[in-house]
Amino acid sequence: MHHLPNGTPTRFDYVLGGMGLSLVCGGLVGIASAVPIMLASSVASLVAAALLFVGSVGQF
């Protein structure tokens, strides 16, 4: 069993951070460009779902 010091980010911390970053960037792209916000947020949601899938599959 691996023991990490307190406060050390885990793999899931990075996955959740990447998901949040993807969703925020999708919203910003939709607001700041000519891309419809629905399309930008949909692509960002797909990227976040892929990150969740890849991050959780690696644990099993």
Global confidence as pTM = 0.79
User: What is d(CA 41, CA 17) in angstroms, rounded to the nearest whole number?
Assistant: 17
Which pLDDT belongs to residue 56? Answer: 84
DSSP state at residue 34: S
Sequence-distant (6+) residues with CB within 8 A of 38 are 30
The dihedral built from the CA positions of residue 36, 48, 10 and 54, taken in this order, carries a sign that is negative
The predicted-structure confidence for 20-44, as pLDDT tens digits, reads as follows 999 999 999 999 999 899 999 999 9
In the structure, what pLDDT confidence band is assigned to residue 11 with cuts at 50, 70 and 90?
A: confident
User: What is d(CA 51, CA 26) in angstroms, rounded to the nearest whole number?
Assistant: 14
